[in-house]
């Protein structure tokens, strides 16, 4: 899925008051940062109290790619200016990171830093076609031009200053769901998920539109699973446009405001 290589900057007035509060000083992120994780894993909202607008959707999922710096031949992550950001990764790790749009890199000292898609360079840095089957949605040339930046959030960033929260953030077509929208998926409610800290909780069914992607069109949503590589919601995430499920647009301002705040202010 080359969706992450289509990331755009989206300006929405409803989100700006929260964005202004973000502290951009702490941009180097690690998965072990309990300070950044505090308050973002809240899955105890009640079921909707009123009848909501029903929508029929289909879903895929995406996650953080994990890689370790290698002493063998490989490729560093570069920023949009072409400056080096990281140690050397294998070609496969480099290309798979480009597909997911977020990568956690462990350096030789054991430190883990999170990097996020920042755009494309003029030239192909890595030939990625060898790692992908023909006929997929992945564009290996575009992947090979991926450029990076340090992420604000411990699990990467969405759009407009929003951080990604595992099992909560979704990538959407903003014509269908403006950034900051919330949807409720009955099939997700009560499903057990394991948080990055090892805690197991039951999902409340709510998802926050905080990301976009070139392959995410119309009724297709992409669920972010954080560091978990396996499908977190097999009951409704079935990776096919014919495999649909029912969801509902959420209008509860309390829930919407809480999820907006968690997706922005917790990056401090």
**Confidence check: pLDDT of 201 > 60:** yes
Find residue 68's DSSP bridge partners. Answer: 106
- Closest C-alpha to 180, from 209, 203, 205, 223: 209
What proportion of the chain, given as a percentage, has pLDDT over 90?
Answer: 71
Domain map of the chain by residue range? 22-32+43-63+162-265, 65-150
User: Model-level pTM greater than 0.85?
Assistant: no
Question: What is d(CA 260, CA 164) in angstroms, rounded to the nearest whole number?
Answer: 11
Give the pLDDT mean for 208-225.
92
Residue 219 has what DSSP assignment?
Answer: T
What is the reported pLDDT for 160? 83
- Closest C-alpha to 204, from 194, 225, 190: 190
What is the reported pLDDT for 162? 93
- Closest C-alpha to 171, from 138, 212, 208: 212
Over residues 129-149, the pLDDT tens digits come to 999 987 677 889 999 999 999
Over residues 6-36, the pLDDT tens digits come to 444 333 334 433 433 333 333 334 443 333 4
* Statement: 22-32+43-63+162-265 belongs to CATH 2.40.40: yes
**Confidence check: pLDDT of 268 > 80:** no
What is the reported pLDDT for 13? 38
């Amino acid at each position: 899925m080359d969706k992450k290589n289509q990331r755009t900057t989206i300006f929405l007035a409803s989100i700006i008051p929260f964005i202004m509060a973000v502290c951009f000083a702490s941009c180097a992120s690690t998965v072990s940062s309990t300070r950044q994780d505090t308050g973002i894993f809240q899955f105890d909202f009640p079921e909707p109290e009123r009848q909501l607008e029903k929508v029929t959707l289909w879903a895929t999922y995406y996650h953080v790619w994990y890689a370790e710096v290698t002493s063998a031949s490989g490729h560093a992550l570069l920023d949009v200016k072409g400056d080096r950001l990281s140690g050397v990764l294998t070609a496969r790790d480099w290309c798979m990171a480009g597909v997911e749009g977020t990568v956690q890199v462990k350096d030789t000292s054991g430190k883990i830093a999170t990097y996020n898609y920042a755009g494309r360079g003029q030239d192909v840095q890595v030939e990625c076609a060898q790692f992908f089957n023909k006929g997929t949605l992945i564009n290996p040339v575009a992947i090979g031009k991926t450029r990076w930046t340090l992420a604000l959030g411990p699990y990467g960033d969405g759009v407009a200053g929003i951080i990604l929260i595992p099992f909560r953030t979704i990538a959407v077509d903003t014509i269908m769901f403006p950034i900051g929208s919330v949807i409720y998926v009955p099939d997700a409610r009560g499903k057990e998920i394991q948080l990055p800290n090892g805690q197991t909780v039951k999902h409340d069914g709510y998802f926050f539109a905080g990301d976009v992607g070139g392959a995410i069109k119309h009724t297709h949503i992409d669920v972010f699973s954080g560091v978990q590589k396996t499908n977190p919601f097999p009951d409704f995430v079935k990776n096919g446009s014919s495999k649909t499920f029912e969801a509902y647009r959420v209008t509860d301002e309390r829930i919407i405001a809480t999820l907006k705040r968690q997706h922005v202010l917790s990056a401090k």
